[in-house]
Structure 1
Amino acid sequence: MTDSLFPIELKAVSETGEIEGYASTFGNRDLVGDIVQPGAFTKSLKGRAATDVLMLWGHDHRRLIGVWTDIAEDTIGLRVKGRIMTETRDGAEAFAFARAGAARSLSIGYRTIRSRQDRERKARLLDEVDLGEISLLPTGANPRARVERVKSHCPDHARRLVAQLNAAAAALRAGEA
């Protein structure tokens, strides 16, 4: 019997809780009649850490679910990356819904600094906002503001892989006898 064959034990595989997507997009009219303009978040984000913007479950300030790790404007809108804290009750619930596809919308909570009316499009143009929070929820006002990626390590797949590796090692050991 060779010393290189040893049983593998799965100690723990945790959900990473990582999500990314667009919290807001530019140029499209949302369901409440707002159109966010490019540059609307520039002043609000300047000199501010992503972690200063709250990650909430359904705009509920009592349900903090994680932290944003990166928030930046690009040509499409407000691109975000963050980590849902799956160690908490609310975070685990939110992440389970996100992973299943039941909560794939993102929505911003903000204070309007500068806006103007566009009578032709029957919309309010948001030129500058002070971003306070970004929420995960089942349905948001902006259908294009969505979670694009939910990253997790699947414990069930890891356990099956470990079982298969252990079975293969046992078969090799049995063949050496």
Structure 2
Amino acid sequence: MTVTMTKAARVVVKAVGPTDPAEKANDNGLGPGEFRALVSVFNNVDAYGDVVMPGAFTDVLADYAARGVPIPVLWSHQWADVFSHIGAADPSKATETDEGLEVVGALDVDSPIPEAAAVAQQVHRLMAQRRVGQFSFAFDVAEAGWGTRGEGDSEREVFELRKFSALHEVGPCLVGVNRDTRLDDVKALRAEYPRPTKADTPQPPGSPADPDPAQEPPTTTENPPGDAPGDDGETHAAKGLDPRSVALLADIAALG
């Protein structure tokens, strides 16, 4: 039986935001929406009494490298919400240091799907403004066991996480468990995020690239398909969203 678990960790934001123009130009080589963070700390006892041991991520990082796929970055472990899949971390830039696991991630601030870009941009804004200051990760355990920390009256039993069999995702959240991780850098906020162009926005099959300006659109006082609560989400499908997103937005409309 495989048990999937999540970890959360407090971070200290060292990156500067738009209020510090003296440092704004120095983004340490980070691109739009990118961040660098220590998302797990070795030999640190967290609030659950768990300790991540050095080498715990070796196998999972090698697996990502062999498969050539990115590490998902999610907002607050919201697996079922496709818009909470806000970015990815490059496995070639995910490394075990003496302190713990350091990753470089990029949020989807330039997504051609407006709804997705809006969520990623808001999370980026919260991070850059120090309004969100913690990180989490989700994992499967391959090897673990009990150990002790401290001496004498301060000795306590801890659960050592020695090897992970999977690293499902990392990402920012509001409240974490560990208190010693940190966000080292984040790309400074831009006054305006790029908006998707017409060429970048997915179009449904058969849609004309340039509508005939001489042809006036029909007018109606009724709700168009996809706008009424409880409809089948055809309007969202026409925007080029994937089926999971369409179903999610249809459910939200039904609740309204």
TM-score by length of 1: 0.73
- Tell me if structure 2 keeps the 8 A contact 1:107–1:145: no
**Aligned match for 1:128, one of 144, 163, 167:** 163
**Aligned match for 2:181, one of 122, 134, 145:** 145
1:23-172 to structure 2, matched below 5 A, reads 23-49=39-65, 51-61=69-79, 62=81, 63-69=84-90, 70-87=93-110, 88-119=117-148, 120-129=155-164, 130-152=166-188, 154-155=190-191
- Shift in Å, 1:44: 0.9
* 2:178 partner amino acid: N
- Shift in Å, 1:138: 2.3
- Shift in Å, 1:118: 1.9
- Tell me if structure 1 keeps the 8 A contact 2:147–2:160: yes
Q: State the SS of the aligned residue for 1:38.
A: coil
* 2:46 partner amino acid: D
CA distance in 2, matches of 1:17, 1:117: 39
- Shift in Å, 1:32: 1.3
Provide Cα deviations, 1:60-105, integer angstroms capped at 9, x if missing partner.
Answer: 1121011102211111100110111123122112111101101121
* 2:78 partner amino acid: D
Structure 2 residue runs of 5 or longer lacking an equivalent are 1-30, 111-116, 149-154, 193-256
CA distance in 2, matches of 1:146, 1:20: 9
- Shift in Å, 1:145: 2.2
TM-score by length of 2: 0.52
Q: State the SS of the aligned residue for 1:142.
A: coil
Provide Cα deviations, 1:111-168, integer angstroms capped at 9, x if missing partner.
Answer: 1111001254321100001211101112211112232211125338xxxxxxxxxxxx
Aligned match of 1:18? 34
- Shift in Å, 1:31: 1.2
- Tell me if structure 1 keeps the 8 A contact 2:42–2:51: yes
Q: State the SS of the aligned residue for 2:94.
A: strand
- Tell me if structure 1 keeps the 8 A contact 2:133–2:173: yes
- Tell me if structure 2 keeps the 8 A contact 1:51–1:68: no
- Shift in Å, 1:53: 1.7
CA distance in 1, matches of 2:62, 2:103: 15
Q: State the SS of the aligned residue for 1:60.
A: coil
Q: State the SS of the aligned residue for 1:94.
A: helix
- Tell me if structure 1 keeps the 8 A contact 2:87–2:106: yes
In the comparison of the two structures, how many residue pairs are matched? Answer: 142
Bigger drift between 111-120 and 57-66 goes to 111-120
Task: Percent identity, please.
Answer: 26
- Tell me if structure 2 keeps the 8 A contact 1:16–1:83: yes
CA distance in 2, matches of 1:52, 1:84: 12
Compute the RMSD of aligned alpha carbons: 1.9
